[in-house]
Chain A
């Protein structure tokens, strides 16, 4: 970078200290002259973690679209108090039509929940963004087991086909939890669905094993545990849960399948079984699964906030430890899903207490993010807008969780729309928003294109407003006694339901706008510089998009949150890194580096 000094001379103030990032062929490019079939094979059987990450991204977004359409059908059914929309193929008989509509409603909310949980949220950040960026943040060429990584993706596809195929063709109405005894007596395709869940579970386990091993064994020299980017801490904690909790789900659905297919009676009271045991098994996985969903999201937020505040993350160690604390505490609180399922009073009190204890590490994170922003030079780029949305929505979701964790209140709010609103604030307001933040943050690196900042910010605003209009009324509905999972309701709830449905359309348009902006950039976007945001983590120290081996030269491993040595270059519209100035000694960076242009 050449600048002009006061005297009018052209000087290069950084000289040799500027780190040049070598360019190379993109990982997205195939060898010239390969046929379509060869290209397909190069993608489908690749062991490149970046391509696998991109394939995961496409897969989970497709699942998200299907799940979103299901949500839309559910919301539209709730526009009027009667069950009158989803009465496909019903005759003139209104009672028959209502019955069909109610059955269809059950199927659609089951599909919505199951697809969103198993196919979208659980793999969203770890499998798509994590796969892409975990090795790059370590300066590694790939994850520890590339073939296992590919197997994990193939299992995901296989499981998803099983799942969606079975669900869409024949209809399943158990809810995503497959509670016994209904799931063992219904004629719906429970076996196909649980087989799908089983397969998806192993996909998740393989990803988890890969991540733990990669972080443990492949950190570069100089990157100690406490110099890792916080996303890696989040993914690491997530991976531990994936490895330790998912097998319990696997054996649970295996037993459920055996129950349904062979009648082994383990969950069937008629044969001496215990249906509550199923709930214990299920939530022993599915509560930690909530943290599988939210911990990587917190990691993404910990990555984005310091970059757009140009300030070192506040309380690094606390954020890192709190990830582990959440992961471990997450194993001890499953009983709070079962306060009304005849547990012993002592167990209920203990679970309630432990549930409250999870709020401590969660709050630590939120306060640390706030403290990071304090006196930072905040630039409201799109990822930062999403990060701010995340913080407010996650806080609402977390605080309403405390109401549900307290026993007497939960007795009233259990199975109402309050629950629905609560977990959507955490899952969607948390994980989905963080996923969007991450996508916008890393999009230039993944695909080498810049998107339209203004439109992306408008999309973010629409998502934020739409989300709140959709789900905030549901808190009120819940406190007023509207139970969940009903196709029809008392007319007094109609206004709030209609408000919620309106919000759905605002939210949906925001999401479509965001998708449109990103897809448009793929074709017509400006070429992205290597480091458009001035982030200090290693994945920004290679060209955009990266080459097959990620790094042509081993990057300089500095602190992931020190931005002093990143200088904006207006020619490239991006940042470049300076090697530490050895002559500067202990003096702060600002004194020796000339004022920026």
Chain B
């Protein structure tokens, strides 16, 4: 290296590594302190892996808190999860998996120098992130509406109409309109003055539009679940009695074995039986643990509570039944998404969605609103942890979006080539981690039994 020259330029333009020194025998993207592109790539990749290790440890704190509280108050967790709609969770899981696929494909596209494909895959990923956030918005909105908040704010209410749907509608129209405007503006800008900023603004528009779409989809799923519940009530009583009486072995074995093949039926069966069965377990240790059947439910009805309470005294439950049931549900994550998201992705096909989603949501129906603080102080703990985990995860999604916008800017600037695509891969790795965390959150929060 020509030393004097290097020193001179480094003193006046030291902040600018890429261009500021006299040694031009290497490509512009190779930072001056690296000796070779390989070294730069390895450094970046190792750095990202370390950052991911750090992220894992960060989430570990939350997972440990989850484990501690689930071990201390299993009944709170088992019952509280009825408030979560697994269809929405599964939908979000599929969305994130699709985005991860796209971003893995994007790395491939970058390696092959297919810039157009690389760009659109990133836009698609941002669309998925937007959908995810839209669904989360709906979930949070329902939680807030029903007063299902963290410990100190936990105040479940039985509400008929709070104007939530109007608000969500307004949110949808505003986001959608704004998204379309921003998207169009970006599209025009990228054809004209500034390609890079045009793409960035267009992508923001895509995020907003897909967020709005996510709100609609999620709301449709949620509403159809609730409607289905009401429809099922008539027959639910009979179901319940049956479930309560014969649940112990039936639930465990039938559900485990039928698994995938009879999915729809299994789910239905399970979900209308489930709470009653839980009722058993609860009543087994009723002395210390408060029957879960009497947990206040947002949409519960009095006679249902009566049915559930009647069901409790029957004592045919064995510990094995619970184990079997748990094993069975452990398989659910693999079985469910396939069927459910089909329904979810077509909210118009209400029939199917209503049946399945409804079946899930029926769980929330079984118990009465009546007895309130049976769980004493611990009731809100589940939602403390729920909001802490999903909230921190959502912040990571948001950070990922910003990182993708940066990548999109650089793609439009033609920064990447088969020789230099490190940042694409590193941000992709980060996105996979965020996805992975959700893969753990989904069963831990939505599929507890």
Contact = CB atoms under 8 A, between A and B. Distances in A.
B381 A272 contact: yes
Contacts of A214: 43
A358 interface: no
Nearest to A553: B3
A218 interface: yes
A552 to B, nearest CB: 5
A124 to B, nearest CB: 22
Contacts of B55: 247
B50 A212 contact: yes
A266 B69 CA distance: 9
B398 interface: no
A47 B61 CA distance: 33
Given A22-B3, A144-B47, A266 B65 contact: yes
B183 interface: no
B47 A251 contact: no
Which interface class (under 10, 10 to 19, 20 to 34, 35 or more) fits A? Answer: 35 or more
A247 B384 CA distance: 20
Contacts of B319: none
Contact of A209 (B12, B39, B51, B65): B51
A268 interface: yes
Contacts of B377: 265, 270-272
A136 interface: no
A265 B380 contact: yes
B58 A250 contact: yes
A30 B118 CA distance: 43
A145 B379 CA distance: 46
Contacts of B380: 265, 271-272
Nearest to A280: B64
Interface in B19-41: 31-34, 39
B3 A245 contact: no
B151 A272 contact: yes
A484 interface: no
A272 B376 contact: yes
Contact of A31 (B4, B12, B76): B12
A143 B381 CA distance: 44
Interface in B376-400: 376-381, 384-385, 387-388, 392
B14 A48 contact: yes
A248 to B, nearest CB: 5
B348 interface: no
Say whether chain B's binding surface is mostly helix, strand, loop, or mixed: helix
A266 B46 CA distance: 34
A428 B381 CA distance: 41
B286 interface: no
A277 B152 contact: no
B181 interface: no
Given A47-B15, A265-B150, A24 B61 contact: no
Given A31-B12, A218-B43, A141 B381 contact: no
Nearest to A206: B51
B235 interface: no
B17 interface: yes
Contacts of B50: 208-209, 212-213, 243
Contacts, number: 161
Contacts of A274: 68-69, 72
A258 B388 contact: yes
A70 interface: no
A265 B150 CA distance: 8
B60 interface: yes
Contacts of B152: 262-265, 271
Contacts of A140: 33
A264 B54 contact: no
A278 B15 CA distance: 42
B15 A45 contact: yes
Of listed A210, A247, A252, A553, residue having the most chain B CB within 10 A: A247
A344 interface: no
Of listed B65, B72, B381, residue having the most chain A CB within 10 A: B65
Contacts of B440: none
Interface in A23-55: 24-25, 29-31, 42, 45-48
A438 B39 CA distance: 30
A154 interface: no
B39 A25 contact: no
B310 to A, nearest CB: 30
Given A213-B50, A271-B377, A272-B381, A266 B388 contact: yes
Contacts of B64: 281
B61 A248 contact: yes
Contacts of A265: 150-152, 377, 380-381, 384
A216 to B, nearest CB: 6
A549 interface: yes
A212 B46 contact: yes
A547 interface: yes
Interface string B390-418: 00100000000000000000000000000
Interface in B56-105: 57-62, 64-65, 68-69, 72-73, 76
Of listed A29, A214, A262, residue having the most chain B CB within 10 A: A262
A209 B205 CA distance: 35
Contacts of A254: 392
B43 A213 contact: yes
A427 interface: no
B57 A266 contact: no
B153 to A, nearest CB: 7
B11 interface: yes
A217 interface: yes
Given A273-B381, A274-B68, A264 B57 contact: no
A81 interface: no
Given A146-B17, A247-B57, A277-B65, 14 more contacts: A146-B31, A247-B61, A251-B58, A251-B60, A251-B61, A265-B150, A266-B381, A272-B378, A273-B151, A274-B72, A277-B68, A548-B11, A549-B3, A549-B6
5 contacts: A141-B33, A216-B43, A247-B60, A271-B380, A274-B68
**5 smallest A-B Cβ distances: which pairs?**
A263-B152, A265-B151, A251-B61, A272-B378, A247-B58
Interface of B: 1, 3-4, 6-7, 10-12, 14-15, 17, 31-34, 39, 42-43, 46-47, 50-51, 53-55, 57-62, 64-65, 68-69, 72-73, 76, 150-153, 376-381, 384-385, 387-388, 392
